[in-house]
Amino acid sequence: MATVRMADYLKRDITNKFKDLYDKSNPELKHSAYIGDKLYDLLLGPKVEALKVQVSTIFGSYVDSEKFFMKSNKLPVSISMLVYDDIREFDDVESKYIVKVQEQFDEKRKIELPLSGEYLQLVDLSHTWKERPISMDLDKYKTENAISGDHLFELYSKKIISVEQRETKRLAKRAADIHKVDAALDDFTTLNQALKAWPALTKLVSQNKISKVHEKQQRKRKEQQQRSKIKPIEQGLNQTILTAALLGDD
């Protein structure tokens, strides 16, 4: 028999393939390097260059000012915003766990904005195990510059929030859909059963496994064809065989 069992490894392969197809249908949303460059110019830019010169001037050669600065093609920022997340809950009606998309507030959402090149930034001294740029708090900048009414900053912030919200929603829905696939596969003990109930599943299964299922189907069709050839003549032949059997051996 060419029955393909719905083993754990097969479920894993199917869900991984679904992830790939989901990402293909719903591409990752990325932040713009243009926004990163504009915020760098606004928040750091000439300020960090001036600070580096000042540190070197004040302390001279007995303090290595280079340790306080680094170059990076990422601009870490934090901002408060609504995001989406996948939440696992137990459904009392269905008596099983479900995963759903839920909106929640993140008081300090950390984001790494891409930059078009490597720009000078301040080193985050709290991370001694790995050199990284210090994060810019956009909420504090907004509060401290509220009087000036920086419209460009407002525009950049809204674009960052929009991309981050859509991307977190995409990922949350991805997790929820993957759980649905995984839960659906638990209802079947064989791949044969699953394919009959969900024909589109063929797009998530390797050709090798599909071929094994088809082998069984082809054998059944061949058996049916062979049976159809014998059926018209078997009545007369069977009578001879049965009669001989009743008479017994000489």
Where the chain has pLDDT below 70, the residues are 1-2, 146-149, 214-245, 247-250
Is residue 179 a contact partner of residue 87, using CB atoms and an 8 Å limit? no
Tokens of 211: 């071929």
Is residue 52 a contact partner of residue 131, using CB atoms and an 8 Å limit? no
Q: 34's torsion region: left (phi>0), alpha (psi -120 to 50) or beta? A: alpha
174 closest CA partner among 23, 54, 6, 72: 23
Residue-level pLDDT at 91? 83
Burial grade of 123 (CB within 10 A; 0-12, 13-18, 19 or more):
middle
- Distance between CA atoms of 6 and 92, rounded to whole angstroms? 27
Strand partners, 111: 77
Is residue 184 a contact partner of residue 200, using CB atoms and an 8 Å limit? no
> Which one-letter DSSP state was computed for residue 72?
E
Residue-level pLDDT at 9? 92
Residue-level pLDDT at 4? 82
Residue-level pLDDT at 24? 94
Residue-level pLDDT at 214? 66
